[in-house]
């Protein structure tokens, strides 16, 4: 690994720790060190994202390792790390995707621009995967497009992208036919109608 790549990774790790702490604090509105279903639901409502309470409860349940109905900071970080390292797409991505939106929407406006996403995505994935990651969410990696996504649009694009990754995995049937299971996930990035 060359010096610039190593320094990018060190900076990204330090920057990411600060951003994750800030994201946790935005969701933990009463500052008790735990994210509740009601706090997560209130965040969704503030962002104009319509979601059933049962879906929010599931999002918490999926990452609640000590089964107390809450997400503490340790569980929050563990979920983030597992999802970041999940190459098979088997981790629960609900809360991770919300946190990803929070990392990009640092101003709290409820919108994520392609330019904002580019900065953090570069720190997370590096230059090689940057365009593919941006195209997966925004439908383009062209910074002149001035696309922005709301929380609802952002989550839907990521959901669609995860489904495409799952569908692109090789199956026994595709292997018998001599195929690989589809195109690489980056080539199947969803197009997005963004504001």
Could you read off the pLDDT of 54-104 as tens digits, one per residue?
999 999 999 999 999 999 999 999 999 998 888 777 888 899 999 989 988
- Asked if 86 contacts 169 with a C-beta cutoff of 8 angstroms, the reply is no
Same domain, 85 and 155: no
Question: Please, which residues bridge with residue 149 across strands?
Answer: 112
Q: Is pLDDT larger for residue 12 or for residue 106? A: 106
Give the integer Cα–Cα distance in Å for 32 and 68: 14
Alpha helices (H) in the chain, listed in sequence order = 3-27, 37-46, 53-63, 73-85, 94-104, 114-138, 151-168, 172-176
Range of the domain at 156: 129-195
Distances (CA, A) of 43 to 69, 84, 113, 188: 17, 23, 19, 31
Same domain, 67 and 140: no
Instruction: Give the least confident one: 9-13, 31-35, 113-117.
Output: 9-13
Specify if 113 maps to a domain: no
Q: Token digits for 55?
A: 């879906």
Same domain, 48 and 3: yes
Q: What is the pLDDT, as a whole number, of residue 28?
A: 97
- Asked if 80 contacts 20 with a C-beta cutoff of 8 angstroms, the reply is yes
Specify if 122 maps to a domain: no
Percent of the chain with pLDDT over 70: 81
Residue 141 has pLDDT above 90, yes or no: no
Give the integer Cα–Cα distance in Å for 193 and 13: 32
- Average model confidence (pLDDT) for the chain? 81
Q: What is the mean pLDDT of residues 16-22?
A: 89
- Asked if 63 contacts 72 with a C-beta cutoff of 8 angstroms, the reply is no
Q: What is the pLDDT, as a whole number, of residue 185?
A: 41
Rg of the chain taking only CA atoms, in angstroms: 17
H-run or E-run covering 177: none
Q: What is the mean pLDDT of residues 48-58?
A: 96
Question: Which of the listed residues 69, 104, 139 is the one where a domain comes to its end?
Answer: 104
Chain segment 146-161, per-residue pLDDT in tens: 788 899 988 888 888 7
Q: Nearest 5 degrees, angle CA 58-CA 36-CA 41?
A: 70
- Asked if 185 contacts 168 with a C-beta cutoff of 8 angstroms, the reply is yes
Same domain, 57 and 137: no
């Amino acid at each position: 690994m060359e010096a610039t790549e190593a320094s990018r990774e060190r900076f990204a790790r330090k920057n990411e720790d600060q951003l994750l702490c800030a994201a946790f604090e935005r969701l933990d509105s009463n500052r008790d060190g735990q994210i509740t279903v009601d706090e997560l639901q209130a965040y969704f409502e503030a962002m104009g994202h319509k979601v059933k309470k049962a879906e929010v409860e599931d999002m918490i349940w999926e990452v609640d390792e000590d089964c107390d109905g809450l997400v503490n900071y340790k569980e929050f970080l563990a979920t983030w790390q597992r999802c970041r390292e999940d190459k098979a797409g088997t981790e629960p991505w609900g809360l991770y995707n919300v946190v990803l939106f929070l990392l990009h929407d640092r101003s709290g406006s409820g919108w994520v621009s392609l330019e904002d996403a580019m900065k953090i995505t570069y720190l997370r994935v590096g230059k090689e995967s940057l365009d593919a990651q941006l195209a997966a969410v925004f439908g383009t990696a062209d910074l002149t497009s001035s696309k922005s996504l709301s929380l609802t649009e952002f989550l839907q694009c990521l959901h669609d992208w995860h489904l495409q990754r799952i569908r692109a995995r090789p199956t026994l049937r595709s292997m018998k036919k001599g195929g690989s299971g589809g195109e690489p996930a980056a080539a199947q990035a969803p197009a997005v109608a963004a504001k």
